[in-house]
Structure 1
Amino acid sequence: MSKTVLVTGAARQLSGRFIRHIQRDSDVARVIGVDTRSPAYPLGEATFVRADIRQPSIVTVLAEHGVDTVVHLDVHGTPATAGGGRSSVKEINVLGTLQLLGACQKVPGLRRVVVKSSTQIYGTAAREPAVADESAPPKAPAGGGFAQDVAEIEGYARGFARRCPDVRVTVPRFAHVLGPAADSGLAAYFKLPVLPTVLGFDPRLQFVHEDDVLDVLAHAVRDGQGSLGAGTFNVAGEGVLMLSQAARRIGRPTLPVIRPLASPLGSALGTLGLTGASAEQLRSLVHGRVVRTERLREAMGGPLRYTTPETFADFAAVHGPGLLPPEAVTRAVDRIEEVLRRG
């Protein structure tokens, strides 16, 4: 059966790419892109509707276009515009999701809802498990930030699934999204000329390539074999990189600061518009997080196309090298580290 798919956050880079990507699916008849501002690039044959998901009028958009599938991608940790701040991001993430799902509940023909989430929901505390899976309870800090946003968003998604058992609700938890055109918070961090780090800590990092994000979302929309189905799925490329390894591979020098100064430094840099060095970003780069992806591999019939190291290499090929020579030095130092660990 042909689908009419509504995608939120159409003016953002990743949402726009997905809108163009999903139009190639033979089961998709129409795609509706929704945002409060016009996209800066074409959306192919998709229809763009200027609308605010935080407003009750979003239910009219769903009904008028006969939407049966909603892909909610307007969930992010960075401002949508240069003038946006943390409060506006939280309002879009939390209030926007609440209002959108409330509108979805009023649409009788709705069959699928996909809600973008993040592996940041697991937290990064030292006492957390070394590797988290979908059964682990959220550990988002109560003090706020993007991790708290996604914890609230997933709570709304679970509540919606209970109230609407006939609607398939899929929640992909994405690791840090990277790639040549990625505009994630960690992408902004690795574009800095010097990378601030927390002295004495070398966090484990996982990435997901932006191309793999599109494939996973497409599987969440499809029916039958290879579709994700209902539930929560961790989405990350195989393998792990330490922050020190990533810094060398992109040729960026690091600037270690003692932990008590990390948040004040991040806040100061954030006020200068350096979103990649915000206090929240630096707090997340103390221990890092690693997740299991067996459930995703089983649903999709195999691993993602890009591993974590391959994803970072694709990003670094466009945004590096930095101030330091990356390739030969990286290989040599990595070999030395491996020998020391074995010895």
Structure 2
Amino acid sequence: MGSEGREGHTPRVVLVTGASRYFGGMVVARLAQDPGIERILAVDTMTPGRDSQRRLGRAEFIRADIRNPLIRKVIDGSGVDTVVHAAVLSRPPMGGGRAVMKDHNVLGAMQLFAVCQKAPSVRRVVLRSSSAVYGCSAKDPAKFSEEMSARTPPQGGFARDMVEIEGYVRGLARRRPDIATSILRFAPIVGPRLAARGVQYLGSPVTPTVFGRDARMQLLHEEDAVAALTSAARTAASGAYNIAGDGALALSQAIRRAGRIELPVPFTVFRTAGRLLMGPVMREFSAEQLEYFYFGCGLDTTRMRTVLRFAPRWTTVQAFDDFIGGAALRPVVDPAWIDAAEHKLLGLIGAGTGAYQ
């Protein structure tokens, strides 16, 4: 996909998938505050709860399944010109397995984009994707740019789904060059509202890590993820965009900032005994999460700033700290005490070195 797109297009009727979930619902709420947008159609298979419905504001909720061809009636009948596809599952749903997840992700996207291709009113499509498409391996560059691909094919189901879904978006761009097709590849998302997803990993006083590795992480605050999707719905030109906060955070630093004690173990133990040590939490970790804690992933965000013209409000460290604050973790070891001890130790080492010079 090129970066030219239809940047001048102003959305009039916007359809957002996954409206009953956090990201879809928050994007709908933000767009509903824009008086320049005439209609916002909030689509999901589940009816949102009472609080979520209030948050949707003036948006019209439509209970529909994007895997059903009837979604074409919704898009054609309403003259939808902008579609934000936020309804992707990163793990199998409750009561469903991997097959259900793939059916929702891949078949749903295939059907939705096929409808967009045939709908003359559609002028912009935005996909919520993930940096998981780059995979994680020892061969990875310091930072992935959007033109790069995984050095080792991703093993996790979610990553494979996103690779396939991105392929459908590129196919749509070839067949309908008049549609601005934008792919937002989010770094791992953290924040107080999503604290329950990952806080259990840091909930134990002792946190296992991979011996000999210190994954370098780039993170994205949940509010910046919503803002990026909202901005893309209004102005994005065609292309893929890495979306991440400034800076990076080593896993060891993250554990220290959370006031936990790091326990390095071999990767084979991390995947097996580590899961037993952490109880049900690590047993639920996806392949993408396990590999991320092993290798990490760096993202080049130049296009995010220069082409998408989006700048996150939160840095990686600030996003992580807000995540820890929302999780209300009680430190086992005061991070300030660790910092003071490190500085004192470095001072002693320096003084000792000087004595021998």
Instruction: Output the TM-score relative to the length of structure 2.
Output: 0.84
Contact 2:195/2:327 (8 A) holds in 1 = no
Deviation of 1:55 after TM superposition, in Å, equals 1.8
Q: Partner of 1:28: helix, strand, or coil? A: coil
Which residue does 2:159 correspond to in 1? 147
Which residue does 2:80 correspond to in 1? 67
Cα-to-partner distance string for 1:13-33 (whole Å, 9 max, x where unaligned):
121111101111232111111
Change (3 A) 1:270 1:254: closer
Gaps of 5+ in 1: none
Matches within 5 A, 1:21-60: 21-40=30-49, 41-42=52-53, 43-60=56-73
Residue type of the alignment partner of 1:49: I
Percent identity for Structure 1 against Structure 2 = 41
2: CA distance, partners of 1:256 / 1:178? 23
Which residue does 2:253 correspond to in 1? 245
2: CA distance, partners of 1:64 / 1:338? 68
Contact 1:189/1:277 (8 A) holds in 2 = no
Give the counterpart of 1:108 among 120, 125, 132: 120
Matches within 5 A, 1:264-275: 264-265=272-273, 272=280
Greater helix fraction, Structure 1 or Structure 2:
2
Contact 1:53/1:97 (8 A) holds in 2 = yes
Deviation of 1:338 after TM superposition, in Å, equals 8.8
- Please report the RMSD computed on the Cα atoms of aligned residues, expressed in angstroms: 2.9
Structure with higher RCO (Cα < 8 A, 6+ apart): 2
Give the counterpart of 1:214 among 226, 234, 237: 226
Give the counterpart of 1:88 among 100, 103, 106: 100
Comparing 34-43 with 268-277, which one deviates more in the overlay? 268-277
Larger radius of gyration: 2
Give the counterpart of 1:233 among 227, 241, 245: 241
Change (3 A) 1:268 1:328: closer
Which residue does 2:5 correspond to in 1? none
2: CA distance, partners of 1:289 / 1:73? 22
Which residue does 2:29 correspond to in 1? 20
1: CA distance, partners of 2:345 / 2:79? 57
Cα-to-partner distance string for 1:279-323 (whole Å, 9 max, x where unaligned):
442222111100110111113546321110011111111114344
Contact 1:68/1:112 (8 A) holds in 2 = yes
Comparing 115-124 with 24-33, which one deviates more in the overlay? 24-33
Give the counterpart of 1:290 among 291, 294, 298: 298
Contact 1:266/1:280 (8 A) holds in 2 = no
Q: Partner of 2:230: helix, strand, or coil? A: helix
Matches within 5 A, 1:105-184: 105-139=117-151, 141=153, 143-182=155-194
Contact 1:32/1:47 (8 A) holds in 2 = yes
1: CA distance, partners of 2:171 / 2:134? 20
1: CA distance, partners of 2:31 / 2:200? 27
Contact 1:263/1:283 (8 A) holds in 2 = no
2: CA distance, partners of 1:299 / 1:33? 28
Residue type of the alignment partner of 1:281: Q
1: CA distance, partners of 2:338 / 2:121? 54
2: CA distance, partners of 1:150 / 1:84? 19
Q: How many residues align?
A: 337
Residue type of the alignment partner of 1:127: K
Change (3 A) 1:238 1:315: same
Residue type of the alignment partner of 1:316: I
Change (3 A) 1:99 1:314: same
Q: Partner of 2:181: helix, strand, or coil? A: strand
Change (3 A) 1:281 1:184: farther
Q: Partner of 2:296: helix, strand, or coil? A: coil
Which residue does 1:324 correspond to in 2? 332
2: CA distance, partners of 1:2 / 1:280? 35
